[in-house]
Amino acid sequence: FFCENPDTTVLGSKYESVLESIYWAGITVTTVGYGDMVPDTRCGQFVACMAAIAGVFCLGLPISVITTKFTDKYQEMLLEQKVEKERKRFILAKKKLAGMRGISQFGNSLGKLFGLPDSNSTEEMEMVMKVATKVFQEMDYDNSNTIDKTELKVCFPSTGFGGWGNPEGWD
């Protein structure tokens, strides 16, 4: 106010009161800048530049930091939801498998009543172990006898394990 209208008697000044100057400062600091009030003097223009720079530092930088943190937390939440969904899916599969084992045992019991051989014979178990071992070896790319997160992502890309990295050339 005092830069544009120092003796408060300048006619035609857009800054006729302190309230109008506060309005101009608020519009400038928030980087809105309607353009309805523009300083005419060098002192006023300098104050306008400083207010604009202060607006960028006081509002722009904190808002960008807050936005980045919000985005990171949101991505973390989405990953947790995917992992939870897969966990529930595996629990359901485990229950179904347990039910199938129960049916198998029930079938074995009935089979014994009628003199049929046990369906969980040693030959069948060996065959299942061979297939399971072959599948495990196909998934274990680095032959470490363990399946790490990277190998899981390669074998099951739609399970939400994408947040753990991607080896070169594996998409």
For the stretch 108-139, pLDDT in tens is 665 566 555 555 566 766 777 777 788 778 87
Number of domains in the chain: 1
What are the CA-CA distances from residue 111 to residues 44, 104, 127, 128 (Å)?
Answer: 98, 10, 21, 21
Could you tell me if residue 129 is inside a domain?
A: yes
Could you tell me if residue 147 is inside a domain?
A: yes
For the stretch 16-25, pLDDT in tens is 677 777 777 7
Answer with the residue of higher pLDDT: 87 or 171: 87
Could you tell me if residue 148 is inside a domain?
A: yes
Contacts of 165 (CB under 8 A, 6+ apart): 149, 150, 153
pLDDT at position 167 over 60 = no
Could you tell me if residue 134 is inside a domain?
A: yes
Quote the domain boundaries for residue 132: 121-155
Buried-exposed string 7-38: b where 16+ CB fall within 10 A, e elsewhere: eeeeeebebeeeebbeebbebbbeeeeeeebe
Could you tell me if residue 130 is inside a domain?
A: yes
pLDDT value at position 162? 52
pLDDT value at position 17? 72
pLDDT value at position 26? 75
pLDDT value at position 79? 92
Cβ–Cβ < 8 Å for 20, 14 = yes
Could you tell me if residue 146 is inside a domain?
A: yes
In this prediction, residues 47-53 reach a mean pLDDT of 79
Could you tell me if residue 135 is inside a domain?
A: yes
pLDDT at position 104 over 60 = yes
